[in-house]
Amino acid sequence: PRQRIKKDEL
């Protein structure tokens, strides 16, 4: 499954 990149990391 393809997941949207979350960008919750620093």
Partner 1 sequence: MNLFRLVADLMHLVSIFILLLKMQKTRSVAGRCSRISFKTQALYATVFLTRYTDLFANFQSLYNTTMKVFFIASSLYIVFLMKFKFKATNDPRLDTFKAQYVVGGAAALALIVNYAFTVQEVLWTFSIYLEAVAILPQLFMLTKTGEAEVITTHYLFALGTYRGLYLVNWIYRYWTEYYVDWIVWIAGAVQTGLYCDFFYIYFTKVLKGAKFELP
Interatomic CA distance for residues 10 and 1, integer angstroms: 24
Interatomic CA distance for residues 6 and 8, integer angstroms: 5
Which string of x and - marks every residue 1-10 that binds partner 1 (by CB under 8 A)? x-x-xxxxxx
- Least separation, in Å, of the C-beta of 10 and partner 1? 5
- Least separation, in Å, of the C-beta of 3 and partner 1? 6
- Least separation, in Å, of the C-beta of 5 and partner 1? 5
* Residue numbers at the binding site for partner 1 (CB under 8 A): 1, 3, 5-10
